[in-house]
Amino acid sequence: MSTMLERATAAGIPIHEFDLEHDPRWGVDPHAVWDEATKIAPLFYSPVNRGYFVATDYETVKGVLRDTAVWANTPTTTIFTEREVRLNVPPLSMDAPDHTVYRRAMIPLFSPQVLTPLEPGIYDLANELVDDIFAKGSCLFTKDFSSQLPARFFLGWFGFDYGDMQRMFELAEKATFEFPTPEIRKQIEGEIEGLISGLYEYRRTNPGDDLATAMVNMRVNGEPIPEEVLVPMGTLAFIAGQETTSTQLGYIMWHLARFPKDRRRLIDDPALIPDAIEELMRVYNTGGPSGRTARASGDVDGVQIEAGDRIFIARAGADRAMAADVQLDRTPNRHTAFGLGIHRCIGSHIARIEMRIALEVWLKRVPEFSIPAGFVPTHRYGSFMQQLNSLPLEIPGLGSPHRAAA
Amino acid sequence: MLEKEKVMSETRLKYVIDDSICSGHGRCYVLAPQSFTADEIGYGQVIEKTYSLQQRQEMENLVVSCPEGAISIETVEVV
């Protein structure tokens, strides 16, 4: 059997080291690395990190995500880890036909129609977090707001009316960014699974109007979901419901802190906030699930694909390459920040609501803010996304934010 | 066909969603609620109506806003 490198060479696509593990620029200016990758080619081969193809433009990314006959999510591995780590996060780590029935069971819980009643609670939470920041007298946005809002909202909606919310958020972060080896992953998953099992047990005897109650009562093909599938499904919800929206909000506020004209525009016209969120998701696409493994022979842009081949979907680069400038009212805006195809983010509707409410409340109550002089942004890249490590904000009337990276 | 009937027939446009491609992003019914609605689990559904040929550009803007490319425009003869 020929290697990926041989077939890449035969097809004449570039060979370029795209190093998700060791390139120090990921920590300094990840967006520059994405932009560089899109300039190499729509598809190239990277021999580092155990080798993978890299898709960098919208059409190639879309083609791969659509071609589920060739590109599978089983196994779901990550490309940047020291050793191969296989993730058990159904239905994301499933393929059709299993994926189809599980996704269909889950999707009504997250459909736009059922989410509107949740909005007042999110407004209250956003206001409460701003109150806390004023009471404390300083603001580390990532720690005090963007990580708190999605975590506290989502854990409550999930069914946790007890427990250590801070620890639960830390676990979601670890499960996103901190598992170089299968052993470490297993340890983090173990702790999360313990929390999820406990929640299911609690909700079986204390049913509520929450996701956990809905999930324990869910039927797939007429049968309850076996615990060994239901628990990792809860793990995925636990991680994705907290960490993703938090990370995206961090980047959005980083932009608004650096570009006062854009901030002023949203303050003057809050109706523009939904479009602005789409545009800032395009420009600061946080990455998303990292790759696919071929389960059959196929073809991408003229390159012969064999079962076992790996591909990295550089969605952040592809989205940025659509337009170089930031235009808050851009329409249409076909970014891929929520993914494409059958594994599209199931939580996109609630994420959009959370981000809209966050910006509405924040800009109304904290219209003036800036980044402290001398602040040097740092980023990190993990299994599901890239993240701005910390964002201190200076707010008139408040003291200096804590400078240390959180 | 009688000349009179020809005159009365009009070429108009309508949206079509390919259900095998739609993944439920919901952009269509958020951006054009007068033309699309959601089914019971949030996938896009076309509201049955037709549009004049002058509205094609506006319709195409909506078509390209679907992340999956699941929406197309078809012509219909309306009597």
Strand partners, B44: B38
Q: Measured between CB atoms, which of A111, A334, A340 is closest to B41? A: A111
At A404, the pLDDT band (50, 70, 90 cuts) reads very low
Q: Which domain holds residue A17?
A: 4-404
User: How many whole angstroms separate alpha carbon A223 and alpha carbon A221?
Assistant: 6
- Give DSSP secondary structure letters for A235-286: HHHHHHHHHHHHHHHHHHHHHHHH-HHHHHHHHH-GGGHHHHHHHHHHHT--
Per-residue confidence (pLDDT) for residue A111, from 0 to 100: 87
Q: Is the C-alpha dihedral spanning A124, B38, A272, A349 positive or negative? A: positive
Tell me, yes or no, if B42 comes closer than 8 A to chain A by beta carbon.
Answer: yes
Inspect the interface and report whether the beta carbons of A341 and B68 lie closer than 8 Å.
Answer: yes
Chain B hits for A349, Cβ within 8 Å: 26, 42
Tell me, yes or no, if B32 comes closer than 8 A to chain A by beta carbon.
Answer: no
Return the closest-CA partner of residue A75 out of A247, A292, A226. Answer: A292
Q: Identify whether the C-beta of residue A61 lies closer than 8 Å to the C-beta of residue A322.
A: no
Provide the number of CB pairs (under 8 Å) joining chain A to chain B: 51
pLDDT tens digits, A74-92: 877 766 677 777 888 888 8
Tell me, yes or no, if B62 comes closer than 8 A to chain A by beta carbon.
Answer: yes
Q: Identify whether the C-beta of residue A332 lies closer than 8 Å to the C-beta of residue B60.
A: no
- Report residue B19 CA to chain centroid gap: 13
Residue A221 tokens read as: 């093909």
Q: Is A302 left (phi over 0), alpha (psi -120 to 50) or beta?
A: left
Inspect the interface and report whether the beta carbons of B64 and A341 lie closer than 8 Å.
Answer: no
**Which of A278, A331, A342, A352 would you mutate first to test chain B, the one with the most B CBs within 10 A?**
A331
Per-residue confidence (pLDDT) for residue A385, from 0 to 100: 81
User: How many whole angstroms separate alpha carbon A87 and alpha carbon A387?
Assistant: 20
**Which of A103, A348, A356 would you mutate first to test chain B, the one with the most B CBs within 10 A?**
A348
**Which of A107, A278, A345 would you mutate first to test chain B, the one with the most B CBs within 10 A?**
A107
User: How many whole angstroms separate alpha carbon A268 and alpha carbon A256?
Assistant: 14
At B11, the pLDDT band (50, 70, 90 cuts) reads very high
User: How many whole angstroms separate alpha carbon A332 and alpha carbon B65?
Assistant: 5
- The CA–CA distances, whole Å, from B66 to A318, A335, B52 equal 16, 10, 21
The residue to which tokens 């235009």 are assigned = A327
**Which of B19, B39, B40, B41 would you mutate first to test chain A, the one with the most A CBs within 10 A?**
B41
User: Distance from B41 to chain A by nearest Cα, in Å?
Assistant: 5
**What average pLDDT does chain A have?**
92
pTM: 0.92
Q: Which residues contact A112 (CB under 8 A, 6 or more apart)?
A: A349, B26, B30, B38, B42
User: How many whole angstroms separate alpha carbon A158 and alpha carbon B36?
Assistant: 30
- Give DSSP secondary structure letters for A107-118: GGGGSHHHHGGG
Inspect the interface and report whether the beta carbons of A332 and B25 lie closer than 8 Å.
Answer: no
Chain A hits for B40, Cβ within 8 Å: 108, 111, 113
pLDDT at residue B2 above 70?
no
pLDDT at residue A73 above 90?
no
Chain A residue with CA closest to B62: the answer is: A332
pLDDT tens digits, A312-347: 999 999 999 999 999 999 988 999 999 888 888 999
Residue A302 tokens read as: 């003229």
Chain B hits for A111, Cβ within 8 Å: 24, 38, 40-42
pLDDT tens digits, A268-290: 999 999 999 999 999 999 986 57
Return the closest-CA partner of residue A391 out of A257, A245, A240. Answer: A257
- What is the tally of structural domains in chain A? 1
What is the ipTM, given to two decimal places? 0.81
User: How many whole angstroms separate alpha carbon A213 and alpha carbon A236?
Assistant: 16
Residue A338 tokens read as: 């929520």
Collect all residues from A whose CB is shorter than 8 A from any CB in B. 62, 104, 107-108, 110-113, 331-336, 338, 340-342, 344, 348-349
User: How many whole angstroms separate alpha carbon A176 and alpha carbon A244?
Assistant: 9
Inspect the interface and report whether the beta carbons of B23 and A341 lie closer than 8 Å.
Answer: yes
Query: What's the rounded mean pLDDT across residues B5-10?
Result: 73
Chain A hits for B24, Cβ within 8 Å: 107, 111, 344
**Where residue A348 sits, what CATH number does that domain have?**
1.10.630.10
Tell me, yes or no, if B33 comes closer than 8 A to chain A by beta carbon.
Answer: no
pLDDT at residue B4 above 60?
no
Chain B hits for A334, Cβ within 8 Å: 64-67
- The CA–CA distances, whole Å, from A160 to A152, A196, A370 equal 9, 9, 35
pLDDT at residue A304 above 60?
yes
Per-residue confidence (pLDDT) for residue A403, from 0 to 100: 47
Q: Identify whether the C-beta of residue A378 lies closer than 8 Å to the C-beta of residue A368.
A: no
Q: Is the C-alpha dihedral spanning B32, B35, B38, B43 positive or negative? A: negative
CATH of domain B17-78: 3.30.70.20
Describe chain B by its helix, strand, coil percentages, rounded to 5: 30, 30, 40
Tell me, yes or no, if B66 comes closer than 8 A to chain A by beta carbon.
Answer: yes
**Which of A100, A111, A116, A353 would you mutate first to test chain B, the one with the most B CBs within 10 A?**
A111
Going along A141-228, which residue ranges are E strands? 219-220, 223-224
Tell me, yes or no, if B68 comes closer than 8 A to chain A by beta carbon.
Answer: yes
pLDDT at residue A49 above 70?
yes
Inspect the interface and report whether the beta carbons of B41 and A112 lie closer than 8 Å.
Answer: no
Q: Measured between CB atoms, which of A104, A334, A344 is closest to B23? A: A344
Q: Which residues contact A296 (CB under 8 A, 6 or more apart)?
A: A69, A70, A307
Q: Measured between CB atoms, which of B65, B68, B69 is closest to A331? A: B65
Residue A236 one-letter amino acid = L
